[in-house]
Amino acid sequence: MFKKTLLASVLVVSSSLFVLPAIAAVPTKPMTAEQAMQNESYVLGVNAYVWGSTLVRMEHIARQYTDMTQPISDTSYRAPLNEFGHARRLSTPHDLDMPSANRDTLYSSAVLDLSQGPMVLSVPEVNDRYYVINMFDMWHNLFQYVGTRETGQLAKQLLLVPPGWESNVDVPRELQVVEAPTSKVWLWGRTQVFEGSDDVFAHRIQDQYTLTSLQEYLDGEKVAVTPLPPRAGEEGDPLRFYEELGAYLKDNPVEERQQAMLGQLAKIGITEQGFDRSNLSVATIEAMIKAVQDGQSIVMAQQKNLRRLRLKMVGFMPLI
């Protein structure tokens, strides 16, 4: 509902932002076809940014959280692709690497690329504290979770598979099959830690959150994992956002209810096959560049308002 309302407001507000100067200059002269196309390109560009920024941001997070070239602290939860990373202590105001205002749970994180094969998520029996592992697709939709409040205290095993997966093996009965909406998945976990010397007990639970490829689960054969490629597009390209959005749309299916939006974006070269600028006019490109700048301002303002609301309601800031 929020995203639909925001997009509707962008259509009105952004259109006026771009059109008003032209109207003020020649109030009695009809708009030319080129001006009309430029205005439409601007509105579509802003909508592309507002609509697609979540996907692009999640793809950035997937790379950031699996970037093992950065120093790893004991509050960091970076890890290689298809592996868990765990924060081993609560962060303080002095921690700069992945800081958090959370004071009672240790974070765990894993980025999975299910296009390289299904993954088995195993969690232990936990009967003395709260834990949860939320599962997000690349549109930041929560599509599944496991934890004491949601699924109980018993140990569980889930088989996470990519969209449209068809098994060519017999799936063991103990595995609960969960089809992810996108091939890449972000697992975001929290494990309660009590005061005193409880960290060691929380660590034991974290260490029992495991990820195993289905192939290794069935026959014990480890599978090599290919790291994620670098961000799409070229550094310094003013149209890089659209390049990234187009590239990431190839791997992340768009929901049926969003297809109408995607159909409109084809007018500025954005489809599920990527971004094609070859047929865009100079005026259209100029409008799209301005749209990125204004789209950033709109998204940042909305995020700021949401963070304030979240802080007021629950007492801590969301990570993204």
Domain end (from 219, 252, 273): 219
> In this structure, are 75 and 111 located in the same domain?
yes
Contact criterion met (CB below 8 Å) for 152 and 124: no
pLDDT at 314 over 60: no
Query: Which pLDDT belongs to residue 183?
Result: 96
> In this structure, are 134 and 261 located in the same domain?
no
Write the pLDDT tens digit of every residue in 106-150.
Answer: 999 999 999 999 999 999 999 999 999 999 999 999 999 999 998
Average pLDDT of the residues in 224-243 = 96
Rg (the chain; Cα; Å)? 23
Query: Which pLDDT belongs to residue 90?
Result: 85
> In this structure, are 113 and 154 located in the same domain?
yes
Average pLDDT of the residues in 151-159 = 96
> In this structure, are 102 and 145 located in the same domain?
yes
Query: Which pLDDT belongs to residue 190?
Result: 95
* Domain extent at residue 49: 7-24+31-63+233-314
Q: Closest Cα to residue 276, out of 255, 294, 249, 258? A: 249
> In this structure, are 199 and 267 located in the same domain?
no
Specify if 226 maps to a domain.
Answer: no
Q: What is the CATH number of the domain that holds 291?
A: 1.10.3360.10
In the chain, pLDDT over 70 holds for what percent of residues? 85
- 3-class secondary structure, 286: helix
Specify if 110 maps to a domain.
Answer: yes
Specify if 1 maps to a domain.
Answer: no
pLDDT at 16 over 80: no
Q: What is the CATH number of the domain that holds 115?
A: 2.60.40.1610
> In this structure, are 102 and 165 located in the same domain?
yes
Mean pLDDT of the chain: 87
Specify if 224 maps to a domain.
Answer: no
Write the pLDDT tens digit of every residue in 34-86.
Answer: 888 899 999 999 999 999 999 999 999 999 999 888 767 888 899 999 999 99
> In this structure, are 198 and 254 located in the same domain?
no
> In this structure, are 141 and 276 located in the same domain?
no
pLDDT at 311 over 80: no
Model confidence at 91, in pLDDT bands (50, 70, 90)? confident
Tokens of 49: 């940014």
**Which residues 6+ apart lie within 8 Å of 277 measured at CB?**
239, 242, 269, 285
Average pLDDT of the residues in 215-225 = 94
Contact criterion met (CB below 8 Å) for 131 and 148: yes
In angstroms, rounded to a whole number, what is the distance separating the alpha carbons of residues 76 and 210?
Answer: 18
Domain end (from 219, 244, 279): 219
**Which residues 6+ apart lie within 8 Å of 48 measured at CB?**
241, 242, 245, 265, 268, 270, 291, 295
Model confidence at 10, in pLDDT bands (50, 70, 90)? very low
> In this structure, are 212 and 240 located in the same domain?
no
> In this structure, are 247 and 146 located in the same domain?
no
Average pLDDT of the residues in 17-34 = 57
> In this structure, are 129 and 173 located in the same domain?
yes
Specify if 212 maps to a domain.
Answer: yes
91 vs 78, more confident: 78
- For 239, phi then psi, to 5°, come to -100, 15
pTM (whole model) above 0.75: yes
Model confidence at 28, in pLDDT bands (50, 70, 90)? low
Query: Which pLDDT belongs to residue 3?
Result: 45
Write the pLDDT tens digit of every residue in 165-210.
Answer: 998 899 999 999 999 999 999 999 999 999 888 999 999 999 999 9
Q: Closest Cα to residue 118, out of 219, 213, 224, 218? A: 213
Specify if 228 maps to a domain.
Answer: no
Number of domains in the chain: 2
Specify if 225 maps to a domain.
Answer: no
> In this structure, are 42 and 71 located in the same domain?
no
Domain end (from 219, 249, 270): 219
pLDDT at 8 over 60: no
